[in-house]
Structure 1
Amino acid sequence: MIELNINEDINPSPIDMSDNQPIPSSSESAPQFMAEAAKQEEFAEPDIKKRKISHFSGDEKKYKLEDRLGGILCCAVCLDLPRAAVYQCSNGHLMCAGCFTHVLADARLRDETATCPSCRVEISKTSATRNLAVENAVSELPAECQYCNKQFPRNSLVRHEEAECEERISGCKYSRIGCPWRGPLHERSEHEKECVHPNRSGADVMEALKSIDHQMNEERMLYDSIFDLLGYDKITINDVQLKPYRTDEFVHRLFYESSRFSALNYQWVVKARINNNQKDPTQSSERDMSYQLILKSKSVKPLSLNYIALRGPVGDINVKPRIYEFEFTEQNYETPFVKLPLPDTPECNRLLAATTINFRLIMFSK
């Protein structure tokens, strides 16, 4: 009876109990059971492999591809993804355009050789190259809209934030008459239906109109002054190139100076300095450039002069037109340093990173 029970557990199929077919013993069925178990174990998937696949799927969900690429393609200086041009040193380390020009500008101010912040290899405008593959890859990576918090490819994010996003900040159409409301674009129409400024009296909106008139008058005065100067008898146009040099003082300071050029029958030189002659401009995050006009010839009689610096055909300097006036005499042959009207600090850094600074100087005299 014991043998029959064992065989039933091992093989549940019917058993012929005839005398011609003997009943197998437990010693004969054990090897068969072990062989079947070994066969199943051979073709079964290992537990380790299953755990590996499961672990990989979790990592893929946790660390997205764009996040990993963001850490690889970021700028070596600011550790942020570049917004425009991407430069690389000879070893392939990446820098965004703003940080690249800032590194070159700092080296110029310190009278040192610019080096890569990662590997310290020498870099310059000629040795560093743009990496177009990285620029294209970064432009396809997603970025979050600052208004609606949705993600868009970087190459379309600016268009979305400026023209498409319904959450972008907008002003009331009656802002010109003093309405201070600012809010999401989709709430603008509802506000304008209830805005009280269209029903205000003229006396109430005069303050807003005065500020607008003041700004327009400044622009009109500038254009009127330029048109008046164009009627002067003597007008010269000079394309000036400034080159850097350093003083022989204990603390070497950086200056720029042009070669002598002839205008209005006199010899002239243009000189420029950084941060209004600050001792160490590298310690300041804000930078600007000022320049002066120096008369190198002797003036027999006083010379009244108007001058303006503009972007010329050679350089790509970004300046806003501003007219200066000075009277040259035998005692006063140098104008005071006046600001070169650059828009911001990055533009000044870009000029410092260049080998030379080129702009057009127009001089007017009666």
Structure 2
Amino acid sequence: MTGDTVAAGDAAGAGPGGPSAHDTAAQFLDRRTPLQRARGLLHKYPALSPALVLLISVIVFGSLNDRFLNPTNLSLITQQVAVVGTLALAQTLIILTAGIDLSVGAAMVLSSMVMAQVAANQGAPAVLALGIGLLVGVGTGALNGVLVTRLKLPPFITTLGTLNVFTALALLYSGGSTVRGGEMPSLLPWTGLSFELAGIRVSTGVLVMMLLYTLIAVALTRTAWGRHVYAVGDDKEAARLVGISPRRVLLSVYVVAGAIIAAAAWIQIGRANAASPNIVGDLNLDSITAVVIGGTSLFGGRGTVWGSLLGALIVGVFRNGLSLAGLDVLYQTLAVGLLVLVAVALDQWIRKAP
């Protein structure tokens, strides 16, 4: 009799009028601390943390120096970000597959030198020169992709080697000389032309970059190819078991990244109004920093391209803000390096979110 009463009580509690034991347990288990909730939110929305960092950075540097928020200075930042942001887009695709590309800067320089030399010295039409430069960019990506997928070489070692190969090829092909904008057809430095938008001068190179971001964002979120990229980056073996070819996906990612690098070369020619074999500098570090700060996991399978764009803006803001503060370029590089360490540590912490 007592057992029946208890059972009846449990059944009544489980009805529409009262919470079940399962609901009560679920509410108890979901009692997370504010820090745990924040980690879960950042895990769900990877672009949220770089957006907050960018906002805080702009406020801090704007308060430290009145010139920072000057339209002329903001125009300079957007133009600087055009190159790093485009390289970061290519880097994002590769890091999403749990790889890394240390050769993006050198591949961009090689592609830009081929574009400029073919147009200026061989007299090729501008469209043909751009096409040949695009093929060179695709070729650099394809070479990295073949070495990674066919020879099973680690992406880090592969691209460390091709970094030197592409750098040497650019110097050998150009003879170490710079091609000025006036020596090239107007189409090549066209990406350096600018127009005013809300008081800020925006170059056509920025528009090219934004178009590429939009196309890749759609491809990653609305196509089967994009889903395969995330699946391979998250778990290559699991992707293979459901019928996805990791080798084919990885090769396609490196090829697409190579095409984007060629576009970055075109943007760089416009920004500098020249093609120089000696401009690599910190481009590789900055592109990786932008991607990691932007919330893309170095372990693959998680991240968005828009987060990488925010990361590129953060890198540009930091370099510009520190420059206005009168700090040496070495301190700017130090700051970017620290950003990488903080971003990787944050990524490790976020990955532990339930």
TM-score (norm 1): 0.26
Pair member with larger Rg: 1
RCO higher in structure (CA 8 A, sep ≥6): 2
TM-score (norm 2): 0.26
